[in-house]
Copies of this chain bind each other. A is one copy, B any other.
Amino acid sequence: MKHVIIGIIGAGRIGKLHADNLLKRVESAQLKAITDPYLDEAWASSLNIPLTGRDHRFMLDDPEIDAILIGSPSSEHAQQMIECAQAGKHIFCEKPIALDPNIIQNALTEVEKSGVKLQVGFNRRFDPNFAAVRKQVTSGVLGDPHVVRITSRDPAPPPAEYVTASGGLFLDMTIHDFDMARFLMGSEVTEIHAYGAVLVDPEIGKAGDIDTAVISLKFANGALGIIENSREAVYGYDQRVEVFGSKGTAMADNNTPTSMVILNESGVIRDKPLYFFLERYQAAFVAEIQAFVDAVRDDKPTPVSGKDGLAPVLVALAAQESLKTGKPVKVASV
């Protein structure tokens, strides 16, 4: 069993997370290099990563490196994808590839031309709960899927300035839910209607964004869907899904630190959900990289394709259009 040798572009929070997983939790992988314009050298040396640097381009020329994980700021993803593809390196790219579908399409075309593998970082597909729900759909346990329902609430709103740069709620936060909806249903979103509101933080409204949304979906297979978002659930990260079908329904609930339950004069009390995505999706972050490494090593298709990187962006843009016009919008029209 050959090891897959990997370099990482970007050593911010997500790059460090992937580095740590590659070093400790992913099988058949070897982390050879990491770069970041502001690299935390103390951190890198504590992990004994062989090569480090500020500029990622030396990794493109290293014949030993099989694959590159792109964890840089989103605005650099597409350009770096193209560079990696041209250098013949397999690519794991964090989401979103870009906020502009043309830029995404352009990058995907280069990737396709090169023949390298590409996996986009929609980690939630690898969450054991959600993956188990998906399995009920594919195995036929639920019969024909009729409705998918996603509740997705963050524990605390980001600063208003972040919101502006991020592309707004739909491109920053709901994009994960759009991917989840497609993943669970196994069908493309064809039309969308979105209601939005500013109920959490007026500053978010002033920055031109919303912090609360309910979104209705139509799928190519005739099924329907709903997504519900909030930027602030005071009880923690609320991540639940349900797929309802002709033979039953499957729901995935939040995870909690423990299974303990206390009964006292106040009631019956359990743990709150795990606080945020680092805790909740810890296993998913490992599993997505493992799946990428396995795909490279065994020359199999990656489980999250370039198309999966583009589709949710188109859905998000349609949602923005719906919010602006007050009408449902066909995804094909954006």
- List chain A positions with a Cβ less than 8 A from chain B: 24-25, 128-129, 132-133, 136, 141-142, 144, 146-147, 149, 151, 153, 193, 195, 197, 199-200, 212-218, 222-226, 228, 230, 232-236, 238, 244, 246-273, 326-328
Contacts and interface: CB of A to CB of B under 8 A. Distances in A.
Q: Which of A132, A222, A261, A327 has the most CB of B within 10 A?
A: A261
A266 B215 CA distance: 29
A274 to B, nearest CB: 11
Contact of A216 (B136, B216, B244, B254): B216
Contacts of A228: 147, 149, 226, 244
A255 to B, nearest CB: 6
A262 B146 contact: no
A263 B246 contact: no
15 contacts: A24-B25, A133-B260, A136-B262, A141-B262, A193-B193, A200-B246, A213-B224, A226-B226, A234-B264, A249-B264, A251-B261, A253-B260, A254-B259, A268-B273, A270-B270
A217 B226 CA distance: 12
A249 B256 CA distance: 16
A272 B136 CA distance: 16
Contact of A270 (B213, B232, B247, B268): B268
A234 B214 contact: no
